[in-house]
Structure 1
Amino acid sequence: MLDRLPSPTRSLASLAREERSFTFTHFTCEHAWIVGNIIRNALRTADISAIIHISLVSDQTLFHAPSLPGMMPDDELQVARKKATVSRWGHSTWWMGCRFDSNGGSERGLVETYGISKTERTKYSLEGGGYPVFVKGVEGVVAAIVISGHMDGAQAHQVLVKALEEYRELRNDYKSSPMRATTVK
């Protein structure tokens, strides 16, 4: 499955448009549950061990699960680093990696541009697999969706994009029952 995904663009403008194209009308634990399970099912189908984590930038966890056995404590640390990057800069970790060079980004560029110390640098990751959640009418990032595990950053980014596309299709195809007053957004 992952080998059939196209490589993500490295164009910052295209990536920023892509990120904003997934703006939600609202975002709750129900949305996180659906998106998280789409990702988990895709990774299980591809036989890839990874942690899927979705949380609000306020640190409230909405979804956290491994796709398969085989995770290591370092994967949990990488989840925290990717979430911190998304929360601080409001872009995917792939966008940040592309901004600061290729294949995970340049640590030196990040340190020099933002004036952060080398020790503070360890709080962040420029490897793909962290994605922002935007909500219409709310300024800034509301939540972060993160994948960390046995895949490279480009693959992780594409899995996130494909999961959000699938979620959007599900949402658009949803038909409300007569008993339900509102539709899933």
Structure 2
Amino acid sequence: MSDHEDLEELLAEEERLQFDRFDNDTALELGQFILTAARRRGLGVTIDITRGEQQIFHAALAGTSADNDAWVQRKARAVRRFGHSSWYLGCLSRAKGYDFHQKFLLDPAEFAPAGGSYPIAVRGTGLVGTVTVSGLPQKEDHIFLTEVLAEFLARAG
């Protein structure tokens, strides 16, 4: 995949990677699942899960720093604002040839259309939270997160 990902495929992926229900217990289980996968793969990432405005899960593995916490917040803020993955938002702006921050009059210190944050959507309800990883190059953050989300949802279903 290039920087100009297939936007339709990214939207279809968002449609597939939805939950039937999502509560605090689900958030904690998902966080542990991602943490285990990151450790198994030897990845240094920060993991964050919110439900509404409440942070339910946060873990920072070796190799991460406070900068990763800031990236988590910026990427998740973009997902909450637009309801799409942060990778999709960046790919869309590149494909359409506009500057994300200028087009929407957003502060780059507050919003990041960089891969690694994903909407937690419940079927029939919509966006209820975010799941975010930071620590890898942005495309790898997105790929790791979507692979683990797919595994988690398949196991739960």
TM-score, normalised to structure 1's length? 0.77
Alignment correspondent of 1:12: 7
User: Conserved in 2, the CA contact under 8 Å of 1:23 and 1:133?
Assistant: yes
Alignment correspondent of 2:121: 134
Bigger radius of gyration: 1
Alignment correspondent of 1:95: 88
SS in 2 for 1:101: helix
Alpha-carbon distance in 1 for matches of 2:2, 2:40: 19
Match of 1:83 among 73, 76, 95: 76
Q: Which string of whole-angstrom CA distances, capped at 9 and with x for unpartnered residues, describes residues 52-96 of structure 1?
A: 00002x320111112x22321111111100110110011111101
SS in 2 for 1:69: coil
In the superposition, relative to structure 1, how do residues 15 and 9 fare at CA in structure 2: closer, same or farther (>3 Å)?
Answer: farther
1:65 matched to 2:59? The reply is yes
Alpha-carbon distance in 2 for matches of 1:160, 1:51: 11
User: Conserved in 1, the CA contact under 8 Å of 2:115 and 2:142?
Assistant: yes
Report the number of matched residues. Answer: 157
Structure 1 letter corresponding to 2:37: A
- What is the RMSD of the two structures over their aligned residues, measured on CA atoms? 2.2
Alpha-carbon distance in 2 for matches of 1:7, 1:37: 31
Alpha-carbon distance in 2 for matches of 1:121, 1:78: 11
1:157 matched to 2:142? The reply is yes
TM-score, normalised to structure 2's length? 0.89
Shift of 1:123: 0.7
Shift of 1:157: 0.7
Alpha-carbon distance in 2 for matches of 1:8, 1:35: 28
SS in 1 for 2:122: coil
1:55 matched to 2:50? The reply is yes
User: Conserved in 2, the CA contact under 8 Å of 1:51 and 1:64?
Assistant: yes
In the superposition, relative to structure 1, how do residues 164 and 148 fare at CA in structure 2: closer, same or farther (>3 Å)?
Answer: same
Alignment correspondent of 1:26: 21
Residue segments in structure 2 that go unaligned for 5+ positions in a row: none
Alignment correspondent of 1:178: none
User: Conserved in 2, the CA contact under 8 Å of 1:8 and 1:157?
Assistant: no
Alpha-carbon distance in 1 for matches of 2:55, 2:4: 29
SS in 2 for 1:24: coil
Structure 2 letter corresponding to 1:92: S
Match of 2:153 among 145, 168, 178: 168
Q: Which string of whole-angstrom CA distances, capped at 9 and with x for unpartnered residues, describes residues 26-52 of structure 1?
A: 101121122212211121122221110
User: Conserved in 1, the CA contact under 8 Å of 2:4 and 2:94?
Assistant: no
Alpha-carbon distance in 2 for matches of 1:60, 1:171: 23
Shift of 1:23: 1.7
